[in-house]
Amino acid sequence: MYFTGPAKSPLSVVTYSDSKLVEKFLNRGSKSVADAVRPILEDMDVRGFDALVDYSKKFDSFELNTGSIRIAMDEIQRQAATLKNEQKKAIEFAYNSTMEVQQEIAKSCQSVEVNSDFGCTKQVPVPIERVGFYVPGGLAPLPSSLLMAGTSARAAGVKDIVFCTPPRKEGINPATAYIMLKLKVNEAFWLGGVAAIWLMTNGISSICKPVDKICGPGNAYVAEAKSQVAQTGKVGIDMIAGPSEVLVLADDSANPEFIAADLLAQAEHGLDSSAVLVTDSEKLALAVQTDVGSQLAKMKRGKEIATSLENCGGIFVVGDLLNDGVDIANRFAAEHLELFCKKETEAAILKKMPIAGAVFVRTGEAFADYGMTGGNHILPTKRTARFSSGLSARDFLVWQYIEELTDDGQKKLAEMAGTFADMESLEAHANAARKRDR
Amino acid sequence: MYFTGPAKSPLSVVTYSDSKLVEKFLNRGSKSVADAVRPILEDMDVRGFDALVDYSKKFDSFELNTGSIRIAMDEIQRQAATLKNEQKKAIEFAYNSTMEVQQEIAKSCQSVEVNSDFGCTKQVPVPIERVGFYVPGGLAPLPSSLLMAGTSARAAGVKDIVFCTPPRKEGINPATAYIMLKLKVNEAFWLGGVAAIWLMTNGISSICKPVDKICGPGNAYVAEAKSQVAQTGKVGIDMIAGPSEVLVLADDSANPEFIAADLLAQAEHGLDSSAVLVTDSEKLALAVQTDVGSQLAKMKRGKEIATSLENCGGIFVVGDLLNDGVDIANRFAAEHLELFCKKETEAAILKKMPIAGAVFVRTGEAFADYGMTGGNHILPTKRTARFSSGLSARDFLVWQYIEELTDDGQKKLAEMAGTFADMESLEAHANAARKRDR
């Protein structure tokens, strides 16, 4: 059963079983740029700073040298000062809310200690020492992402924050600058794209030491470069974010205007962003469809947003929200899951713990995107929520095992450890264990 | 200043500044097998089960079909029953110790909840649903690694454990079989190498559903296959383990015989394993060198172990263990760090939190390798301890944000979220926020 809906809406209503939407959803943004990125990284491995100079000229029309690569503190302060009061207030609120949640998370990460007759084993959290943040340039510098990652890192106790962004004639984005000051960024560089990822991974003496982990969004080249440097094992990365996505589960108690607005906000991220509504109410489905059309008509980027919804958006009408709806949600395992349901349905859905990066309960995702909830908007996409988590202070801690057996404990356990080593035919291991009992 | 030491010892004593050992250490095992693995994965993408049949025949001389691929439960029970009592006892002890530590870790992973005037944000742990374990065949089936990863997964609450191992004529390794029963493995397959990684990633209907995360050691091809499937984002992986390594910090209070035994045990893992002693005592250095020679003489695989020590082993004599020694330890960021020092030096070193996957305090690593301490022996290698952690129950939990703002909270925060969205020029986000205040 297909609804065509009002002619003005780009959002089609389809039954789940007929839909190719799940396949479409999974295959977004898969075009490989690996072959373009690899030689650039290799060139920088060979030529170092000279290559950075060339790529800065080529991609950013910027004359890079050991002086111009540094973003001056007074430039950051000057730009931050240009913000209006209400803009500062919004950033302050987002910063404080996010920091509070991340500090609670960091505080909950406590050492674990298990004692036995033979000794003591601990698992202890240690902050990662040095983290690099990439902030994209162009039209979408995403200061909010810097805020999200930066508060998480600082809450965990990261010592050094290194910052890279593509050079811009108009100077650093004022909101970004304001957040850099809040975060007390330690080193900041005008460097974009693959070159920035290379610098933070490998370092150049006298300019920048290598970092331990690289975070932050970027275009496909930046994502691919992060993926390739992570492969080498030289540096950790936060995640490879795919195109953004939202899945909404709603019944007839929901406000169609809000849902339409949230689907449009998702679609605004790009042509491969996915915005999907699953509902048991045909009435709601049609109302959302209509509202999408009328809200779109007032938007400057309406045409692009409509194309995104046509590409990767849709409405499923299902018989039973609790069963069919949650099954679909688990199949999508979306980055964002919004619930707009009657209280009892909502509770039943939450109890089933549908897979998602973050769940929004009767709450517009846009509030969380801008730190109003204190949650983190850097979240796993493309079904990776099955095995990975939204960014938090946890991602800036490593857990170190500290293990101690008493001399007597080692004496008593020597034969047992030796027996196990024998089963694996590792004679030097068996020797190392049994020596303790001689 | 170089010591040549006793002619019989393969371990050379060198000063740190002259040494190329750090570079050697970092460049172990880097030969790429990517180009061999990629076409195999692609072939299986295209031909599915038929390709698995062909590769099983080619690599394992095994006639794979939809029946023979399954490891029968009675085979597992029969093999487990062949273990001697003391072998069962060693496994039971290791299993219980490791499970206890992992359960404590899982128990410490509690939801975090932050309430405000506007709503409530939580971060909630959810067990990964379905995990695949690869267990290598051949001479080193490493049942202890299955025990380590399996207890961590079960402690976290993983529902399904899927098991793959290369087919062996002599049947499943008895210790592995015993641990499979302890872990209540849900599905078990005779499938090796790249094919096993492919199956667990993609699944084949009627045989095996895809898993969410793949764990376990394997040869270079298995490691590369894990890395390649992780790149696709279809599945998570535990880690890409490099060659094993130990760094020992010891002063003149240490027992040279124990240190020599531990270095030999490390070197036993392979020709690119690294075993390094850092000491402020020339006397200890020479004693360890001598002991390595004399213990080696009694070992069946002595020649291989000696070659490993010559390749990637060494002794540094430093002026000051607390400063120079810890600096070297941080530079290596080794998988295993052993401390054999006087109490006050030990405390001062531990306070500096040297980077390592696991720290062993006056304790032979071999005890931890076989679960006697309850710690986990699946640990980050090749300096990745800077940004990643030894395996634990944490690796089998994902953290989901659950965010809720009241209607009134959304009303009050709408303008602020809208202001932030305006700064990022995201009009549909601003619309979604401000709609809540209309």
Please report which confidence band the pLDDT of residue A142 belongs to, taking 50, 70 and 90 as the band edges.
Answer: confident
Interchain CB contact of A367 with B (< 8 Å):
yes
Residue in B358, B379, B435 closest to A257 by CB: B435
Nearest to A382 among B90, B233, B433 (CB): B233
**Neighboring chain A residues of B257 at a CB cutoff of 8 Å:** 435
Beta bridge partners of B165: B190
Identify the closest residue of chain B to A388 by CA–CA distance. B398
Query: Which residues from A are below 8 Å from B86, CB to CB?
Result: 415-416, 419
Q: Is the pLDDT assigned to residue B133 strictly greater than 70?
A: yes
How far is A173 from chain B, CA to nearest CA, in Å? 9
Nearest to residue B364, comparing CAs of A92, A250, A424, A411?
A411
pLDDT score of B24: 64
CA A203, chain centre distance (Å): 24
- CA B165 – CA B215 distance, rounded (Å): 12
* Closest Cβ–Cβ partner in B368, B394, B427 for A399: B394
Give the residue with greater pLDDT, B240 vs B403: B403
- CB distance from B240 to chain A under 8 Å? yes
Q: Catalogue the active-site residues of A.
A: 335-336
Q: Which residues of A touch B413 (CB under 8 A)?
A: 93, 367, 372
Question: Does residue B432 belong to the interface with chain A, where contact is any CB pair within 8 Å?
Answer: yes
Query: Which residues are bridge partners to B403 per DSSP?
Result: A360, B121
pLDDT tens readout for residues A249-273: 999 999 999 999 999 999 999 888 8
| CB-based contact, B318 to chain A, within 8 Å | no
pLDDT at B18: 58
pLDDT level of residue A379 (50, 70, 90 thresholds)? very high
* Phi and psi angles of residue A191, each rounded to the nearest 5 degrees, phi first: -160, 130
Among B413, B437, B438, the strongest candidate for a mutation testing the A interface, having the largest count of A CBs within 10 A, is B413
Q: Which amino acid makes up residue B162?
A: V
Q: Give the residue from A121, A176, A308, A331 with the most B CB atoms within 10 Å of its CB, the best one to mutate.
A: A121
Interface of A with B in 259-298 (CB under 8 A): 261-262, 264-265, 267-268, 295
* Residue A4: band (very low, low, confident or very high) from pLDDT cuts 50, 70, 90: very low
One-letter identity of residue B377: H
Report, as an integer, the average pLDDT of A19-28: 63
Decide which of A312 and A361 is more confident.
Answer: A361
How much is the pLDDT for A411? 98
Share of chain B above pLDDT 90, in %: 83
Residue of B129, B233, B366 with shortest CB distance to A240: B233
Please pick, among B245, B268, B336, B338, the residue that the annotation labels catalytic: B336
Res B220: pLDDT: 86
Q: Go through the domains of chain B in sequence order and give each one's CATH number.
A: 13-29+242-374 (3.40.50.1980), 34-237 (3.40.50.1980), 406-437 (no CATH)
Least Cα distance to A246 among A277, A272, A220 occurs for A277
Query: Is A386 in contact with A332 (CB distance < 8 Å)?
Result: no
Q: How far is A361 from chain B (nearest CA, A)?
A: 5
Q: Which two tokens stand for residue A234?
A: 């030289």
CB atoms within 10 A of CB A127: 18
Residue A119 has pLDDT above 50, yes or no: yes
Write down the pLDDT at residue A336: 98
Confidence of residue A2 (pLDDT cuts 50, 70, 90): very low
Burial of B128 (0-12, 13-18, 19+ CB in 10 A): buried
Residue pLDDT, tens place only, B41-81: 999 999 999 999 999 999 999 999 999 999 999 999 999 99
Q: What is the pLDDT of residue B94?
A: 98
Nearest residue on chain B to A376, alpha-carbon basis: B401
CB A220 within 8 A of CB A271: no
- With contacts defined as CB-CB under 8 Å, which chain A residues touch B110? 108
> What's the count of helices (H) and strands (E) in chain A, helices before strands?
17, 14
| Whether the Cβ atoms of residue A101 and residue B118 lie closer than 8 Å to each other | no
Per the document, the length of chain B is 438
Give me the mean pLDDT over the A9-28 stretch: 66
Q: What pLDDT, on a 0 to 100 scale, did the predictor assign at position B43?
A: 96
pLDDT for the residue A241 = 79
Closest CA–CA distance from residue B329 to any residue of chain A (Å): 14
Question: d(Cα B203, Cα B223) in Å, to the nearest integer?
Answer: 19
Res B22: pLDDT:
64
Given the cut 0.95, state whether the ipTM is greater than it.
Answer: no
Least confident of A13-22, A400-409, B326-335: A13-22
Angle (deg, nearest 10), helices B256-267 and B282-296: 60
Backbone angles phi, psi at A330, to 5 degrees: -70, -35
- The number of C-alpha atoms within 13 Å of B245 and in the hemisphere containing its C-beta is 32
> Is A7 part of the contact surface with chain B (CB cutoff 8 Å)?
no
What is the arithmetic mean of pLDDT over B70-93?
97
Which one-letter amino acid corresponds to residue B295?
Answer: Q
Query: pLDDT tens digit string along B383-402?
Result: 999 999 999 999 999 999 99
Does the CB of B389 have a partner CB in chain A at under 8 Å? yes
At A15 the pLDDT is 63
Cβ of B235 under 8 Å from any chain A Cβ? yes
- Which residues in chain A (64-103) have CB-CB distances under 8 A to chain B? 86-87, 89-91, 93-94, 97, 100-101
Q: In this model, does residue B3 exceed pLDDT 60?
A: no
User: What does the alpha-carbon distance between residue A154 and residue A393 come to, in Å, rounded to a whole number?
Assistant: 8
Whose CA is closest to A285, among A11, A8, A7, A1? A11
Q: In whole angstroms, give the CA distance from residue A359 to residue A356.
A: 7
C-beta atoms of A364 and B398 within 8 A: no
Instruction: Specify the pTM.
Output: 0.93
pLDDT: is B97 or A5 the higher one? B97
pLDDT of the residue at A409: 98
Q: B411 to chain A, minimum CA–CA distance in Å?
A: 11
Contacts of A344 (CB under 8 A, 6+ apart): none
Q: How far is A24 from chain B (nearest CA, A)?
A: 15
The answer to whether the CB atoms of A212 and B386 lie below 8 A apart is: yes
pLDDT band at A186 (very low <50, low <70, confident <90, very high): very high
What's chain B's average pLDDT? Answer: 92
Mean pLDDT, chain A, as a whole number? 92
Question: Which of B268, B384, B421 lies closest to A370 in CB terms?
Answer: B421
Q: What is the pLDDT of residue B278?
A: 96
Percent of chain B with pLDDT over 70: 93
Lowest-pLDDT choice from A117-121, A124-128, A406-410, B59-63: B59-63
Percentage of residues in chain A having pLDDT higher than 70: 93
Q: In the prediction, which pLDDT does A243 show?
A: 85
SS3 state of residue A84: coil
Q: Say if the Cβ atoms of B212 and A435 lie within 8 Å.
A: no
Which has more confidence, A23 or A332? A332
CB atoms within 10 A of CB A359: 26
Q: Taking CB atoms and an 8 Å limit, are A119 and B425 in contact across chains?
A: no
Q: Which two tokens stand for residue A345?
A: 């349905």
Residue B19 has pLDDT above 70, yes or no: no
Mean pLDDT of A410-419: 98
Cα–Cα distance between B437 and B434 in angstroms, integer? 5
Residue A296 has pLDDT above 80, yes or no: yes
- A92 min Cα distance to partner chain B (Å): 10
Compute the distance between CA of residue B268 and CA of residue B296 in angstroms, rounded to an integer. 11
Chosen for mutation from B253, B401, B405, B422 (greatest number of chain A CBs closer than 10 Å) is B401
Q: How far is A91 from chain B (nearest CA, A)?
A: 7
Asked whether residue B12 carries a pLDDT value surpassing 80, the answer given is no
Sheet with strand B187-190: strands edge to edge: B187-190, B160-165, B130-134, B213-215, B236-237
Chain B environment of A273 (Cβ under 8 Å): none
| Cα separation values, A223 from A220, B82, B105, B253, B432, Å | 5, 51, 33, 50, 28
Question: What residue in B sits closest to A356 (Cα-Cα)?
Answer: B400
Token pair of B71, please?
A: 């490891």
pLDDT for B99 beyond 50: yes
* Residue A290 to chain B, least CA–CA distance (Å): 16
Average pLDDT (A413-431) is 96
Whether pLDDT at B23 is above 70 = no
Q: Which one, of B346, B246, B355, B323, lies nearest residue B16 by Cα?
A: B323
Contact B90 A121 (CB under 8 A): no
